[in-house]
Structure 1
Amino acid sequence: MSERIAVTGSSGHLGRAVVDDLVAHGYQVVGIDRSVAPEATHPTYAWEGESVEPLRPLLEDCDGLIHLAAIPAPVGHLPEVVFVNNTRATFAALEAAGSVGIRRAVIASSGSAYGTAWSPQPTRFRQVPVDENHPMTNFDPYGLSKEVDERTAAVMARRHTMSVAALRFHWIATREQQLEAMARQRTGPRDLDDELGSLWGYVDLRDAASACRLAIEAAARSPYGFVPLNVVAADSLADAPIPDLLAEHAPEIEVTAPLGPTQGAYAIGRAAELIGWMPQHSWRDPA
């Protein structure tokens, strides 16, 4: 019998792609979201994202949890709403999962956890490639919520003897969105503070979805406790090489390892080693 995987935030941008990927690989899916999408072809249940008790029965008989439900940016809501919503939902989801015997989970962390993306003042990375040990220097409630989510996941991994992968997704984009971003960059005007804050990173929506499944599968083969993983495209969302861009616009950022002409600024080797994930898609792919 195929495994059952619960997905919170199943109606969202990433959630829909994760559900499709799981179904395509033979899994049964239990969708969980604030509201039930009428077009859903899999069982979907409403959960307000706050309390443990209503979630427990939805997770019964599930083999894994992929927790994606969150406010995805620090804009559009009061700061306290962003922080409390995201951190409370992560605690509740993992506590409910652990309490019903689920021992494999994934949470959606973010590259924003490093603190540069939404900083109200230009905040730079210290060095590239950016690996998972780079310091977090958050100024905004969204990045802080993801930093706290990771601390929560580490506690839950100990509390319930779970494997919990915190996937640090960069900008999750469709191919069309990637090409639109490149067109804007080429025609200008450019926002170099924004580009340096993101270090020209992105990840294809399909690759982000497969990372969730692979993290669940890897934990079945070899439990790994808590681990944060960069989930970022192998290349950069830029025409010029990263070292050239940094030399011109941010020479204070140290380049600690050679980077190829199109190579991205984020280290993704840990995801390859631990869960077997490597990005398969790029904006550079032929049409």
Structure 2
Amino acid sequence: MKIAVTGGSGRIGAYVVEELLAHGHEPVNLDRQFPQKRLCRTRIVDLLELGEVYGALQGAEAVIHLAGINAPGTYPNEKVVQLNVMSTYNVLEAAAGLGIAKAAIASSESIYGYCYAANRFAPYAIPVDESHPLLPQEGYGLSKIASEQTAAMFHRRCGMQVVSLRFGHVPLPDEYEWLARHEGASRFLWSYVDVRDAARAARLAVEADGAGCEALNITADDTCSPVDNAELLRRYYPSITDRYADLTGHAAWSDNAKAKRLLGWKPEHGWRHNRG
């Protein structure tokens, strides 16, 4: 299958390109710059220009949209919202116009709000599943809500299959030692997903048939903390009393069961045995 990958030169996109090639697909990278490793054809595209996106997606059978600003703080909030939302809209608008039936878009667990909240709060219950309220306090999380709603609109309009991938923190294989020491990990509930597992989820999302329009947590089965959950709860989140699963040991605080069920996906890499 010919699959367009926006942001294929980026940290996740480069692994997605490799994953697609390894499984017999024909990826085309759509980005603002060339990748470090040129594994497939790259087209330099401004995703804020709808005409350019139409031209770049010609001939594609599916699209994986990863391009955009991947965290708050680097750009002003209004820039984050503009770029992330309009790039998603243009990609899906062009895909719909060209009759492309399948898409996957990069979302984030930041959509739930607690990750980057100026006024910190605990999740309503753990593990956090896709039904948790969406409560961002900044432009990045807001942009993910708008992008997922854009996906839902195109699904209603033309039946396009769109899977929104709510990634946890995505480390590269050589970043595990840093991840385990990261002081801010409590903000994202020690949730992560290895970049190789993230890439596999993206591939499976466009290979799947009949997935409709869904948002899925794409996260590891364990936390990225060497401290066990009982101590993490006592130290950081003593107010959380609602627990829907056994969180003994280092079980993840993010529920990935829906992705396992709908995509046949499961995480295969974890920091405890895959540190770089």
Tell me whether the two structures share a fold, i.e. TM-score over 0.5. yes
1:164-220 C-alpha deviation (Å, 9 max, x unpaired): 0000001100232122221x25xxxxx4xx33321111110100000000111113x
Provide the residue aligned with 2:221 in structure 1: 234
Matched residue type, 1:285: H
Task: State the superposition RMSD in angstroms.
Answer: 1.5
Deviation at 1:286, TM superposition (A): 5.8
* Counterpart selection for 1:217 from 182, 186, 207: 207
1:91-140 C-alpha deviation (Å, 9 max, x unpaired): 00011111101111000000111111111122221110100000111111
Deviation at 1:38, TM superposition (A): 7.1
CA contact (8 A) 2:72 2:139 kept: yes
Provide the residue aligned with 2:198 in structure 1: 208
Please tell me whether residue 266 in structure 1 is matched to residue 264 in structure 2: no
Provide the residue aligned with 1:75 in structure 2: 73
Q: TM-score if structure 1 supplies the norm length?
A: 0.91
* Counterpart selection for 1:41 from 39, 42, 48: 39
| Count of matched residue positions in the alignment of Structure 1 and Structure 2 | 274
Provide the residue aligned with 2:245 in structure 1: 257
Instruction: For 1:99 and 1:105, locate their aligned partners in 2 and report how far apart those are by CA, in whole Å.
Output: 13
Provide the residue aligned with 2:115 in structure 1: 117
Provide the residue aligned with 2:269 in structure 1: 281
Structure 1, unpaired ranges of 5+? 186-190
CA contact (8 A) 2:223 2:252 kept: yes
Provide the residue aligned with 1:102 in structure 2: 100
* Counterpart selection for 1:153 from 143, 151, 154: 151
Deviation at 1:39, TM superposition (A): 4.5
Q: TM-score if structure 2 supplies the norm length?
A: 0.95
CA contact (8 A) 1:243 1:255 kept: no
Matched residue type, 2:70: P
Provide the residue aligned with 1:188 in structure 2: none
Deviation at 1:256, TM superposition (A): 2.4
Structure 2, unpaired ranges of 5+? none
Moved over 6 A (4+): none
Matched residue type, 1:160: C
Q: Residue 99 of structure 1 aligns to a residue in which SS?
A: helix
Deviation at 1:26, TM superposition (A): 0.9
